[in-house]
Amino acid sequence: MRWGMVVDVRKCVGCQTCTIACHEENALPPGIFWRHVVDVEVGDYPDVRRAFLPMGCQHCAEPPCVPVCPTGASQQRQDGIVFVQYDMCIGCGYCAVACPYRARHMIHEQDWYFGTPTASETKAREPERHGVMSKCTFCKHRVDKAPAGATPGVDPEYTPVCVSSCIANAMHFGDLDDPNSNVSKLREEHQPSVLLEELNLKPSLFYITE
């Protein structure tokens, strides 16, 4: 099993709903965004158009952020999810330097948007996350709760919140190793590309562009 995403860039409208949903789900402090949508211009003048590119950790099969970690805090699960073991992290930032996708973020301290924590911030906050590196985890806390018979990527409750909140159905999540999964079928049909393919990091995020 290897969890991954397929993003249909043709459908993305740049609404940033995934950005805000991720931010709230993980009670991230002001200025920290594990998921964001880049607004780019593609084509050659005068034949140009706008495109929106949802970005975040690519959960590489060969993640450069893992071997450079001096404490072993930066880890990769057997299902491909890359995460930070907060109680082992010393905040050195080596992983942030190694990541070509700029998906690592230092949380120096917990700030609240309105001075005091809201109900959702209180529920989702992780005190051990202060002074360490942080990143997108593919919402492993949701994925791992899936009971027998439930399928992350199909059942919204057990799917990364950026995917389940997408208003344009542009983002899809599932098992890349399962030929019958939604993401595998999309890959077979559209032959999507990955970012910085030349680095041979084997990202788990694929982008349908045409």
Domain CATH number, residue 54? 3.30.70.20
What residue has token string 């805090």?
73
Residue 173 is predicted with a pLDDT of 98
In whole angstroms, what is the distance from residue 22 CA to residue 27 CA? Answer: 8
Residue 49 is predicted with a pLDDT of 87
Containing domain of residue 197, as a range?
3-208
pTM: 0.89
Residue 111 is predicted with a pLDDT of 75
Residue 147 is predicted with a pLDDT of 95
Mean pLDDT of 56-74: 97
Residue 105 is predicted with a pLDDT of 94
Mean pLDDT of 195-202: 96
pLDDT in tens, 151-170: 999 999 999 999 999 999 99
In whole angstroms, what is the distance from residue 148 CA to residue 103 CA? Answer: 32
pLDDT in tens, 86-136: 999 999 999 999 999 999 999 887 777 787 888 877 776 777 778 899 999
Produce one character per residue of 106-130: b if its CB has 16 or more CB atoms within 10 Å, e if not. ebeebeeeeeebeeebeebbeeebb
Going by pLDDT thresholds of 50, 70 and 90, the confidence category of residue 22 is very high
Residue 12 is predicted with a pLDDT of 96
Residue 131 is predicted with a pLDDT of 87
Residue 86 is predicted with a pLDDT of 93
What are residue 120's phi and psi, to 5 degrees? -70, -35
Mean pLDDT of 175-193: 96
**CB-count burial class (<10 Å; 0-12, 13-18, 19+) for 194:** middle
What are residue 32's phi and psi, to 5 degrees? -105, 120
Mean pLDDT check: name the lowest of 1-5, 10-14, 112-116, 139-143.
112-116
Q: Is 162 helix (H, G, I), strand (E, B) or coil?
A: helix
**Element spanning 40, H or E:** strand 36-44
Neighbours of 168 (CB within 10 A): 15
Domain count, the chain: 1
